[in-house]
Amino acid sequence: MDYDVIIIGAGPGGIYAAYELMTRAPQLNVAVFEAGNTLDKRACPIDGKRIKTCIGCKNCSIMSGFGGAGAFSDGKYNITNDFGGNLFEYIGKDEAIRLMEYVDDINLSHGGEGARLYSTANTTLKKTCLQHKLQLLDASVRHLGTDRNLVVLTNLLAELDKQIDFHFLEPVQRLEVLDGAYRVGTKKGTYTCRTCVVSVGRSGSAWMEGVCHEVGIPTTSNRVDIGVRVELPAELFSHLTDELYESKIVYRTEKFEDRVRTFCMNPHGSVVSENTNGIVTVNGHSYENPELQTDYTNFALLVSKHFSEPFKDSNGYGESIARLSNMLGGGVIVQRFGDLIRGRRSTHERITESFVVPTLKAEPGDLSLVLPKRILDGIIEMIYALDKIAPGTANDDTLLYGVEVKFYNMHVELRPNLETSYEGLYVIGDGSGVTHSLSHASASGVFVARDIVARMGGRS
Ligand SMILES: Cc1cc2nc3c(=O)[nH]c(=O)nc-3n(C[C@H](O)[C@H](O)[C@H](O)COP(=O)(O)OP(=O)(O)OC[C@H]3O[C@@H](n4cnc5c(N)ncnc54)[C@H](O)[C@@H]3O)c2cc1C
């Protein structure tokens, strides 16, 4: 065997699996294969001046490399079972929270100290929400911030690098099941191991699907979330963001009884565009550095859609809607809320006259020509509901950017210990369809590392 354990992917899932193996069973010979670059060599060419939008690099530095997809995010680490994944369905709610707290401790001891922990416990905002048919989900949020997040990752890499064999810029192309072992193939060679942990995240979804198909691991379709990103003056949401930083609020629409929820709230942030396989969608960021902050807060309003029979391709549905918006707007479309409810498109003139200055250069247009009526009606209803707890949300000048789509990986069929039907082959993190957050993905890595240590020997 070349290695005892091979980990595929160096996102939070892979990093924390490696960290736990290194500390609990230092005698094990562990390698990590990562399609992207080491941390200090990850650089997105968009500089806002010469290169303004995504140029579709072969290896996307935002999604790939040490730290995975969230490396350049502002690192909102949510400790909760209410959102961010279904890890608790496999390992139990108490264990899931314990592991998220354990990872939080490691983050703090590796450069994260000083990061504020926000919590919904004891907040009166919960009651205010309920009074207006809104549900505030329970969570503790450690807001690391972009800069601190990178410090934590840098420190973790320095520590791991002493003991773990990292193979950067070496995407795994093949994964073969041998008799009691696994062989991974890259363009540089083949490597065997006794145990393999696959943690390839969202960017590795197509590859993961291929592997499951090839070796006969059953998968099922997941949901897709479709909606818009809302941008408004930061003061309007400051009572929520000052106390909770990010609030996950759910609304059940009166018309269709659909659930609409807030997602990824960025106080004093910027709206950004995102290119996934040539499809431009919208997202949001915020920085801890006051110089990079804006006067606006942005968040997504999303509706989940899950197709099963006969049409199964939830992601394909989301992609088609995003493509339609790209066709009409050449990229992201922006519309004033006032224009949307009056049934007219936004124009450059109306946007220029607006009190809200867009933080993303997007094409003024009409989102009602893009989003299905049911989804759009739900979003409009929710904006009016939010207006009751944050008056001004439904102002005419509130900006809506579209479309925002959250794609999820298919669910890989796994045992309660996150192992496939093949002994010693684990699938964790967002690539498994089980998690979709930094905290759940990291916790899943720690969990399988402990399972492996218990099986292979070491301090479990
Ligand atoms: C812009 C942005 C901001 C975000 N902000 C937050 C946030 O604030 N809070 C939060 O909870 N979540 C956030 N997320 C989501 C979060 O980043 C993910 O849920 C998390 O990173 C998932 O971890 P993972 O290890 O499962 O996968 P990933 O982080 O996606 O890592 C997978 C790694 O595997 C590598 N890989 C893929 N295929 C292969 C292959 N064949 N061979 C070798 N390597 C491969 C990839 O290059 C990647 O580095 C954000 C995501 C994005 C894109």
The structure's pTM equals 0.92
Q: CB neighbours of 26 closer than 8 A, spacing ≥ 6?
A: 163, 458
Q: From ligand 1's centre to the CA of 226, what distance in Å?
A: 20
Question: In testing the pocket of ligand 1, which one of 437, 444, 446 has its CB within 8 Å of the most ligand atoms?
Answer: 437
Q: Is 411 exposed, middle or buried (0-12, 13-18, 19+ CB in 10 A)?
A: middle
Q: Is 226 exposed, middle or buried (0-12, 13-18, 19+ CB in 10 A)?
A: buried
What residues does ligand 1 touch, defined as CB less than 6 Å away? 8-14, 33-36, 64-65, 68-70, 73-76, 78, 84, 171-172, 199-204, 207, 283, 429-431, 436-439, 441
Q: 295 is written with which tokens?
A: 């006067």
DSSP per-residue string spanning 232-288: EEHHHHHHHHHHHSS--EEEE-TTT--EEEEEEEETT-EEEEEEETTEEEEEEE--S
| Helices 438-456 + 93-107 axis angle, to 10 | 100
* Atom 3, ligand 1: residue with shortest CA distance: 73
Alpha carbon of 425 to those of 87, 181, 206, 412: distances in Å? 17, 9, 18, 12
* Atom 38, ligand 1: residue with shortest CA distance: 204
Element (H, E) at 62: none
Taking the C-alpha atoms of residue 178 and residue 124, their distance in angstroms, rounded to an integer, is: 57
Does residue 339 sit in helix, strand or coil?
helix
Q: Which residues of 298-315 are buried (b: 16+ CB within 10 A; e: fewer)?
A: bbbbbbbbeeeeeeeebb
**In the chain, helix, strand, coil percent, each to 5?**
35, 25, 40
From first to last of the 460 residues of the chain, give the pLDDT tens digit: 899 999 999 999 999 999 999 999 999 999 999 999 999 999 888 776 787 666 778 888 888 999 999 898 878 999 999 999 999 999 999 999 999 999 999 999 999 999 999 999 989 999 999 999 999 999 999 999 888 999 999 999 999 999 999 999 999 999 999 999 999 999 999 999 999 999 999 989 999 999 999 999 999 988 999 999 999 999 999 999 999 999 999 999 998 999 999 999 999 999 988 877 778 899 998 877 788 899 999 999 999 988 878 888 888 999 999 999 999 988 899 999 999 999 999 999 999 999 999 999 999 999 999 999 999 999 999 999 999 999 999 999 999 999 999 999 999 999 999 999 999 999 999 999 999 999 999 999 999 999 999 998 654 4
| Strands 333-336, 363-364: pairing kind | parallel
